[in-house]
Structures are given as structure tokens and as C-alpha cells.
Structure 1
Amino acid sequence: MTEAPTADRIHVVVAGALGRMGAEVIKAVVGAEDCQLVGAIDTTPGKEGVDVGEALGLGVLNVAVTADLEGCLCAVSQALRDKGPGAGAVMVDFTHPSVVYANTRAAIAYGVHPVIGTTGLSPEQLQDLQVFSEKASVGGAVIPNFSVGMVLLQQASAAAARFYDHAELTELHHNRKADAPSGTCIKTAELMEELGKTFNPAEVDEHESLEGSRGGVRPSGLRLHSLRLPGLVAHQEVMFGAPGETYTLRHDTIDRSAYMPGVLLCIRKVRQLGALVYGLERLL
């Protein structure tokens, strides 16, 4: 962090700054008049100390890439230590499922509001982070998907689940996504399951000649399928079936820029939260 922060703007740190989503977030933050990029965290070998703007082809931004997450969080926290409630820095995380829990907990510990786009947190980890953030009075947001269109699909799926007893979910992503099924798909299933009903009652004695070919089964009976192929970005389909008809809901992300309005919305609202929330619909 080499540029002196401006007090009247939201100070933003991006973890996973050189990744595909991290790069989009940096472009969005730099282009937002009410935000200021103050930290860029990334562990890519050979990039320590490089100006993140130059690394991404955006020109000089006077923010150096660092692999020291805690050091960066400490520095931005100290820069705002006298600003009071609702004026802290924000960390946007698009890293890896193996480190997202530790990153989120570290941000809360330093008083930096986490906005987490990395999926892969277990229900137990999410619960622990919610308790920790509430005790620390540091609001945060875990967002499986930043697309407003996806939130609409999830709400439509939850509504349709009232009328259909048979449903299966399929999510399709690029082949560099580490976790399966996606957090977005899990969140969609959770919203459908809030009715408390059981789906897909068995009508035959099924068997798989190839294990896993029928997808993963949740306790509710919902089946989730994951596809990973180069050329895909992020796509989800929820198909409902009933005698004589099917009803299909689908959302396709064509470009990662589709997520940026949701990311900026979270950056602007997360500092007013008293604890960690789960899902973009909690901030709309």
C-alpha cells in the first residue's frame, strides 16, 4: 500500500488480486468514485512488490501486490482506527476454498469488513464466522453469487418448489473451479428446502452402473449435478418435473463483469452490518 488513503472514500483491499475475478474487482473499484483501492493481496510467484495496475495492464495504481494478508489487513485497519463505526476498510476475497476461512477470520479480527466471493465454506465454518463477526461487531457478507439475475432465479426456484415434488439442479463452470457443487447451487437448494418438504420420491429401485452418474443427493432428496469444461464461465439450471410437463429455470453468466454491480453494492453496504450475512438477497 503506497498511496495515502482518502478519508471520504471506501477503502478496499482485494485478495486474489491477480486472478480473473480479482482483476475484475480491481477494475470496478478503480472506476467507482466512492471507492479507493488500498491493498492487493496475491500469492502468485514473482509478483511481490509489483504495482497491481501494471500487472493487470491498467497503468500505475500505486498499490503494490503483497502476499502478506495479515500485514496488509493490519496496515489498512490502522489507517482507519480513529474513524469510528461504519468507516472501516473492506476486503473482497476471490481466492481459494482452502484459505477462505482463514482469510475471512483474519479480516474480522483486524476490523476489516469481509465481502467473500470465494465458495467452499462449510456450514460449520460459516456458523463460526457469523458468531465471531457478531462478537467483534464487524459486519461481513458471504456471497455465493453476485449476479442479481441469479438471485432472481433462486427466488423463482423457491417459489416453484411449492408446486413441484420433483426437481434437479445442474451447475456448469469453467474447469479451473476447485469446489463442486458450487456455492450458488447449494444456496439455491437451501432456499428450495426452506419449505421443509421432501423431493424426488422414489418410484423405482435405482442403481448406478457408474457411481455418481445421478449426481449428489441432499437429505431433502434434491439432486445436484456439476459440470466442468473450458469455455464455460458460470451457468445454472433448475429443472422441475410433473406429469405431462417440465419447468426449467436457467441463468447464464457470459462475462465476469456481470458480477461487478453486485460486488460494488456489497462494498457500499457491508460496513452498516452488525454481523456476517449469507447471500446477496440479504443486501438487496
Structure 2
Amino acid sequence: MVTVLVNGACGRMGRAVLKAVQEAEDLQLVGAVDITGGADCGELAGLKANGVKVETDLQAALDRMKPEVMIDFTRPDVVFHNVTTALKAKVSPVVGTTGLSDEQKAEIKKLAEENDTPAFIAPNFAIGAVLMMVMAKQAAKYMPEVEIIELHHDNKLDAPSGTAVQTAAMIAEVRAEHKQGHPDEKEKLTGARGADYEGMHIHSVRLPGYVAHQEVIFGGLGQTLTIRHDSLNRESFMPGVVLAAQKVRGLKGLTVGLDKLLEF
């Protein structure tokens, strides 16, 4: 059994993670942390009460419970502190919170190696989203003109999404950097063409009703190709979260991306 602490337990993703961990046969929920404490983790997940209460002090919970894995779905402004706290306690973080900078990831990698404690970060835990990214990378070898549109609920704090940035990074591995569109195009409104990633454009939509969605649109002579993934509810992320919690202790250093745990 892999012992697990869930950080950000009272949020919508946190509750879904609590349920997934408690229902997984080889994971054991030993603790939970959130800025709002006191709730029973079983009841919070819509299950029977289990006596595991949500606490408010991450360091104290890690020190007392000594879990093997911390699953973090908190906020971009606190996730780096959470991850470094876990690594210093020799607890492996499995991170679904996006917004970490390249510099922060480099520091996490260094801490993971120094503490001989593996860490795992995934921009998206939905297996279908991972397949979308892998397929987009393959398509870009033959259709390098591409734009990315990502659509999320209006409470998402960072833009573009981690999934969109990771998709662009994977495409950039096989696509020569170049600016797309007319060389003399001008934006009548700043930002109309979206963010720029090595000449690719990324567009972010934030509206109520969405969960997490992305389409990668390729254009060629007389044709277009669209690869799209839709997460219709938060349960779509749970198989990937469980897989990462099961596998992280067997990794080394920092691993980024659920694709590293899948076979292609």
C-alpha cells in the first residue's frame, strides 16, 4: 500500500482526488490538508466517514503522518512552497497544480535529487489529453502550421493552461521555430492573436460551463486537421492521478508529464 496525503483536499479537484485515493485498492489515505480544516475526508468525498480529518498545517501533517506521496491540487501561488516542503520531508509530490515556472521546476529537480525523493508533475492527468499531445507532436512533423485553443472554467487562475504550454513544447521538439500568419499582420486589439510560443499561437478561453478542453488545429494546403480533447468532469483526471501516485516512488529526480508513465 502506498500511503498518501492530499493537499488542497476541500477544493473540487481535491474532493475528487480524495474519493479516487480511497477507492484505489493499493493506495491508503493517511492525511489531508487545506486552508479550511476539520472535515472528515470520507464524508468530503461523498463516502462513509473514515476518521481522517482535514488539517491546516502541511508541515505538521507531513511530520506526523509520514506519507510516501503528497498529491497537490492547490493554487499556483502556493504550489512551489508545498512541493519544496514535501521534498525536504522526503515525501514524493504528485502535482496537478499548474503555474510552476521553469526556474521553479529546476529547483524542484535539484531538491528531488538532493533528497533522493522523486517528484512528479503533470500539466494534465487525463489520459485522453496525453494522447492528444502525443498525436499533436506526431502531426506537427508533417503539418507544422498549428494553433492551440484551450478552454477552461472561469475560475482557473493561470493562462494559458499547463496543458497548452506542454503541447506547444512537445510540438516545438519536431517543428522549426517560425512565425505563422501574414508577416505584416497587425492586431487591432492587443492579444487578438493570442500568446506566442516559438511562432505558434495559443488562445485561452475562460467561461462558466467548461471543465478542461483543448483543440490543436493544423493547417495545410487545402486541408485542416483538428485534434481535440474534452474533460467533461473531474473524474476524467483520476485514473492518471492514481497511476502517478502508484508509480512515483519508482522514479528518479523530477518527471514531468503523464506520457512518461504510459507505453506508446
The verdict on a shared fold, with TM-score over 0.5 as the criterion, is yes
Q: State the match for 2:103 in structure 1.
A: 124
Q: Which runs of 5+ in 2 are unaligned?
A: none
* C-alpha distance after superposition, 1:7-31 (max 9, x if no partner): xx21110001011111111111111
Q: Which amino acid aligns with 1:215?
A: G
Q: Which amino acid is 2:177 matched to?
A: T
Question: How far has the Cα of 1:278 moved from its partner?
Answer: 0.4
Q: 1:101 is matched with which residue?
A: 80
- Partners of 1:135 and 1:199 lie apart in 2 by 38
Match of 1:60 among 46, 49, 58: 49
How many Å separate the matches in 2 of 1:174 and 1:268?
29
- Between the aligned partners of 2:220 and 2:26, the Cα distance in structure 1 is 49
From 250, 253, 259, the equivalent of 1:275 is 253
SS in 2 for 1:208: coil
C-alpha contact (below 8 Å) 1:165/1:200 kept by paired residues: no
- The CA distance in 2 between the partners of 1:107 and 1:239, in whole Å, is 39
Give the corresponding residue for 1:112: 91
Matched position secondary structure for 2:146: strand
Sequence identity (%): 46
1:187 aligns with 2:179: no
Give runs of aligned pairs for residues 1-284 of structure 1, distance below 5 A. 9-44=1-36, 48-77=37-66, 89-195=68-174, 197-218=176-197, 220-284=198-262
What's the CA shift for 1:49? 2.6
Instruction: Answer yes or no: is the 8 Å Cα contact 1:165–1:199 preserved in 2.
Output: no
- In the alignment of these two chains, the number of paired residues is 262
RMSD between superposed Cα atoms in Å: 1.3
What TM-score, normalized by structure 1, do the two folds share? 0.89
Mapped partners of 2:134, 2:178: distance in 1: 18
Unaligned runs of 5+ in 1: 1-8, 78-87
The answer on whether the counterparts of 1:51 and 1:61 sit within 8 Å (CA) in structure 2 is yes
User: SS state of the match for residue 227, structure 2?
Assistant: strand
Q: Is the 8 A contact 1:76 1:89 kept in 2?
A: no
SS at match of 1:97: coil
Q: Which AA in structure 2 matches 1:38?
A: V
C-alpha spacing 1:110/1:247, structure 2 compared with 1 (3 Å) = same
2: CA distance between counterparts of 1:275 and 1:210?
43
Q: Which moved more, 1:181-190 or 1:29-38?
A: 29-38
Counterpart of 1:5 in structure 2 is none
User: What SS class does the counterpart of residue 37 from structure 1 fall into?
Assistant: strand
> 1:199, CA displacement in angstroms?
3.9
Q: Could you tell me which amino acid in structure 1 is paired with residue 53 of structure 2?
A: A
Deviation at 1:200, TM superposition (A): 4.0
SS class of match (2:203): strand
Residues 74-100 of structure 1, C-alpha deviations (whole Å, 9 max, x = no match): 1122xxxxxxxxxx6110000000000
Per-residue deviation at 1:70? Answer: 0.7
1:271 and 1:210 mapped to 2: Cα distance? Answer: 48
1:64 Cα shift? 0.9
Q: Does structure 2 retain, via aligned residues, the 8 Å contact 1:146–1:259?
A: yes
Q: Distance in 1 between matches of 2:75 and 2:102?
A: 17
Q: Which whole-Å CA distance do the structure 1 matches of 2:20 and 2:183 have between them?
A: 51
- Contact 2:19–2:46 (CA<8 Å) still a contact in 1? no
Show CA shifts across 1:121-154 (max 9, x none): 0011111101110111101100111111111111
| Mapped contact 1:166–1:200 kept (Cα < 8 A) | no
Task: Report the CA distance shift for 1:30/1:131 in structure 2 as closer, same or farther (over 3 A).
Answer: same
Distance 1:114 1:240 in 2: 35
